[in-house]
Amino acid sequence: MKLTLIAGEPSGDRLGAALMAALKTLVPQVSFHGVGGPLMQAEGLTSLFPMEELSVMGIAEILPKYRHLKRRIAETAAATLAENPAALITIDSPDFCLRVAKIVKSARPDLKTIHYVAPSVWAWRPGRAAKMARHIDHVLALLPFEPPLMQAAGMTCDFVGHPVVAEPLAAKTPQSSPLILALPGSRRAEVTRLAPVIGETLAHIKLLHPDARVALPTLRGVADLVRDLSKDWPIPPDIIQNPAEKRAAFANASVALAASGTVSLELAANGCPMVIAYKMNPLTLWLMRRAALIDTVTLVNLVSETRHVPEFLGADCRAELIAPALLGLMQPGPERSAQQAAMSLTMDRLGRGGEAPGLRAARSVLSQLAPG
């Protein structure tokens, strides 16, 4: 069995790798091609080009790279059709992946198309689901409330659980001083905008916690930029790329200041209180806020149906506002306790204690390929 998988970001690379590993246990003769990062490549995928080329976000960020991305879309669709796989599995990154699926489905209406990670139609642009249904047959959903929304648009959908519940956790060890996680994002534009704000926030923290330490887990695609932008922070960060060291930092941090995104669930899995901050191009932010259907961008808040994770977005993403919230969570108290309860509830609702999400996703994929 041949399968084409396409991922465009580190989070998608993790999803794809877990899915591939599970598929290999269920169908040992399976083979893979497409686009992916180091984790998917380690599971046997030869990427058509570096996945990092696709790690862009937002209208203003995509426009300068539009021609290059359009060429890559065409190349990926052509390679998929040439391979004639049993299915095309696109993983998140809808601006790229769904355009590839559209071309492939138009040329081969009989080819099964599966999208991993439902579009966040509960957050904004609800019409995306109906549009996606024109060229996607089946959806693998990470959040428990998503299947009815996908089914209403005309696709089949299974809730497969979120991969964060299956990721290994490091043991907690006693810490002699506060450890702060700084998480400015995985995209270069995110890091460029948020790193200065984190540095300014740390200046406030250092006044009350002069012994505080900072850990800054990052990825290879932005590691050079992270080093450059954090070199003058008032608390020099320990920049981490090793996965084991990252797990240890997440397990032992007192608090985290993080960019909006999946990382909030990684923090929740480790019970690490967090403050979410995000800056983006003002045009992108304005357009998103006009279309927003919800009042929070943090998955912990959404899944737990609480609002215990504080957010500082756009014009509110300022050190003088962020620092008090971060300091409040560093101490035992009602804010910290409420957020930890919300994080635990989130993990339960995402499938903690059940079958691994990668395996559930693999079974869902194979159910779509079974005759009849």
| SS (HEC) of 287-355 | HHHHHECCCCCCHHHHHHCCCCCCEEEHHHCCHHHHHHHHHHHHCCCHHHHHHHHHHHHHHHHCCCCCC
pLDDT confidence of residue 58: 46
CA distances to 52, 104, 258 from 191, in Å: 15, 34, 11
Q: In the prediction, which pLDDT does 136 show?
A: 98
- Residue ranges of alpha helices (H) inside 143-242 are 147-152, 188-208, 223-230
pLDDT the model gives residue 10: 85
Q: What's at 318, amino acid-wise?
A: R
Residue of 214, 190, 161 lying closest to 313 (CA atoms): 190
The 3-state DSSP class for residue 129 equals helix
Mean predicted lDDT score pLDDT of the chain:
92
Tokens for 9? 């970001």
CA atoms within 13 A on the CB side of 213: 12
State the pairing for strand pair 87-91/112-116: parallel
Neighbours of 267 (CB within 10 A): 25
Prediction pTM value: 0.80
pLDDT of 281 reads 72
**Strand 274-278 and strand 255-259: pairing?**
parallel
pLDDT in tens, 149-186: 999 999 999 999 998 998 899 999 999 999 999 999 98
DSSP 124: B
Q: Tokens in use for 85? A: 């796989």
Q: Where are the alpha helices (DSSP H) in 34-87?
A: 38-42, 59-62, 66-83
Task: Check residue 337 and give its pLDDT.
Answer: 97
Cβ atoms of 85 and 111 within 8 Å: the answer is yes
Write down the pLDDT at residue 123: 66
Nearest by Cα to 48 from 73, 68, 76? 76
CA distance 247 to 242: 9
Alpha-carbon distances, residue 353 vs 135, 227, 304, 305, 359 (angstroms):
34, 37, 17, 20, 13
Alpha carbon distances (Å) from 143 to 131, 155, 213: 20, 16, 34
Neighbouring CB atoms inside 10 A of 364's CB total: 21
Q: How far apart are CA 283 and CA 292, in angstroms?
A: 14
* Other Cβ atoms closer than 10 A to 287: 15
With a cut of 50, list the residues of the chain below it in pLDDT: 57-60
User: How many CB atoms neighbour CB 208 within 10 A?
Assistant: 11
Q: Comparing C-alpha atoms, which of 329, 332, 279, 324 is closest to residue 300?
A: 329
List Cβ neighbours of 151 (8 Å cut-off, separation of 6 or more).
157
Question: Domains in the chain, start-ordered, CATH in brackets?
Answer: 2-161+353-369 (3.40.50.2000), 179-349 (3.40.50.2000)
* Token pair listed for 157: 């959908």
Q: Which phi and psi angles does 119 have, rounded to 5°?
A: -65, 145
